[in-house]
Amino acid sequence: MDLNDTPEQAAYRARVRAWLDEHRDEAPPLRAPEGEEEAYLAARRAWQGKLAEGGLAGVVWPKEVGGQGLGPIEQVIVNQEISAAKVPGILDVIGVGMLGPTIIAHGTDEQKSRYLGPMLHGDEVWCQLFSEPAAGSDLAGVQSRARANDDGSWTLNGQKVWTTNAQFSSYGLLLARTDPDVPKHKGLTMFIVPMDAPGVTVRGLRQISGEAEFNEVFLDDVRLDADAVVGGVGNGWGTALTTLMYERLTIGLGSEGLGYRADRFAAPIAADPEARADSDVRKRLGELASELIALRFTAYRTLTALQGGRIPGPESALAKVTTVNAAIAATDLIADVMGPDALDASSEWAYAISFLPGLKSAGGTEEILRNTVGERVLGLPPEPRLDKGIPFSELRAKEREVTA
């Protein structure tokens, strides 16, 4: 058990730190200055490009596609040094962290050479077009429909939701149904969709806070060429699983990424002499802080597993459950201590209190996560599935029948 670098790791860390020292001045600030969102976005793209040139982006991507061909440990070292340098990381975490690896695993050589470079350098940002209004927890239930045309092209119709970065993305990786007459996991196909294609409409989706943290994406007769297919027609589910696996990986290695840290939550309480001596306040703070502190070492355990060649399983979902619930307990406590001012529109706490209920459902509701972990990790029997083996097109009828 050793939290220190090996000599090789220390040397790599030194090189990363040196590069950051040299280029720190070229980095944009951590957050967009009020009213300069547009310019800031451009600066973040440019900064991602510099990070890529410096070898600080796509660390785990294979060399032949422009990556560094290094391991998760080096990725973590880069993350640590970037946050220590107080400069922003790459802009397109979703693309480089989850969608790129999917294309690397399932894409054609043409797709790899066309898309991966611009993605890595931030010239083209990507978004993930999986979730739908009627297919959230049940991802395989997507209804977006891609029909094959005689010339081999496809016509796409449907609606996606909870899409991050869609408003400034160049491309989206989209899961659509190409065959409704087979069971739902079988009739799916993954596509690359140019976000500027005719028929693609992006609309901001406002959350409790009033801010649009996500988007809805509407697809009306969007025409896609035959080469837009990733991983083969009908193999969409398998392709999607790769993306989800890298999603877990990204979460597992960066559970503190959301900024829900114990010390941050302790600060406003420390500022109140009455509160910091109150046994109820201290108990609530101590209990939630202990859980958040645990996650730091859960991340190290994930990293250890990766170094041992093991891919983290669904149990990393538990880290998300812990984070969200501990953060809710923390912001509740802070508002109890500060009083109504914590709920002022300008307060970071009011923002967090508004953001957390949505985060609870983002990336799978807590109920679904617990199901998955119970079945895949503890090996508990699944719920009786009423949709097994039934053609997708007949599902709704079946649903009505069994619950009549």
Partner 1 sequence: MNLALSDEQELLREAARGTLSRYKTVEAAREALEGGALPDLWGAACEAGWPGLLVGEERGGAGLGPFDAMLVLQECGRVLAGVPLLGHLTASWLLDRGGYDGVEAVASGERRAAIVAAMPPSDLHDGWTWEPPAGKARVPAGGDVAHWVVDAPGADVLVVVGEGGAVSVVEGAPVEPVMRYDATRSLGHVSLGGATATALDVSPADAANAWHLAQALIAAESVGTIETLLEMGVAYAKERFTFGRAIGSYQAIKHQLVEVLRVLENGRSLLYYAGWAGESNADEFPIAASAARSVAGRGLDAASRITISVHGGIGATWEHDAPLYFRRAQLSRRLLGGTAAASDRVAGELLAAVS
Please give the residues from 377 up to 396 whose contact with a second copy meets the rule CB under 8 A.
Answer: 381, 384, 386
Q: Judged by CB under 8 A, which of 51, 76, 166, 174 binds partner 1?
A: 76
Q: Which of residues 92-131 bind a second copy (CB under 8 A)?
A: none
Contact of residue 362 among partner 1, a second copy, none (CB under 5-8 Å per partner type) = partner 1
Q: Is 354 in the site for partner 1 (CB under 8 A)?
A: yes
Q: Is 402 in the site for a second copy (CB under 8 A)?
A: yes
Q: Is 273 in the site for a second copy (CB under 8 A)?
A: no
Catalytic residue among 124, 216, 247, 315: 247
Q: Does residue 130 contact residue 160 with C-beta atoms inside 8 Å? A: yes
Q: Does residue 116 contact residue 170 with C-beta atoms inside 8 Å? A: no
Contacts 24+ apart (CB under 8 A), 232-235: 232/106, 232/189, 233/178, 233/189, 234/178, 234/179, 234/186, 234/187, 234/188, 234/189, 235/106, 235/188, 235/189, 235/190
Judged by beta carbon, residue 32 or residue 395, the one nearer partner 1 is 395
d(CA 78, CA 56): 6
Q: Is 3 in the site for partner 1 (CB under 8 A)?
A: yes
Q: Is 339 in the site for a second copy (CB under 8 A)?
A: no
With contacts defined by CB under 8 A, how many residues of the chain interact with a second copy?
Answer: 10
Q: Judged by CB under 8 A, which of 63, 86, 206, 283 binds a second copy?
A: 283
Cβ of residue 282: shortest distance to a second copy, in angstroms? 8
Least Cα distance to 176 among 202, 223, 137, 140 occurs for: 140
Judged by beta carbon, residue 53 or residue 280, the one nearer partner 1 is 280
SS3 166: helix
Annotated catalytic residue 74:
no
Scanning 63-71, 237-245, 246-254, 364-372 for contacts with partner 1 by CB under 8 A, the matching segment is 364-372
Angle at CA of residue 165, ends 129 and 31, nearest 5°:
155
Q: Judged by CB under 8 A, which of 109, 151, 279, 397 binds a second copy?
A: 279
What are the φ and ψ backbone dihedral angles of 366, each rounded to 5 degrees?
-60, -35
Contact of residue 75 among a second copy, partner 1, none (CB under 5-8 Å per partner type) = none
d(CA 259, CA 40): 21
Judged by beta carbon, residue 123 or residue 291, the one nearer partner 1 is 291
Cβ of residue 267: shortest distance to a second copy, in angstroms? 21
d(CA 303, CA 312): 9
Q: Which of residues 295-314 bind partner 1 (CB under 8 A)?
A: 295-298, 300-301, 303-304, 307-308
Least Cα distance to 99 among 170, 19, 156, 200 occurs for: 170
Count of positions (residues) in the chain = 404
Cβ of residue 294: shortest distance to a second copy, in angstroms? 22
Judged by beta carbon, residue 35 or residue 403, the one nearer partner 1 is 403
- C-alpha dist (Å) from residue 123 to 105, 164, 380: 22, 17, 45
Cβ of residue 326: shortest distance to a second copy, in angstroms? 18
Contact of residue 272 among partner 1, a second copy, none (CB under 5-8 Å per partner type) = partner 1
The one-letter code for the residue type at 358 is G
* Burial class of residue 24 in the structure, from the number of CB atoms within 10 Å of its CB (0-12 exposed, 13-18 middle, 19+ buried): exposed
Q: Which positions are annotated as active-site residues?
A: 247
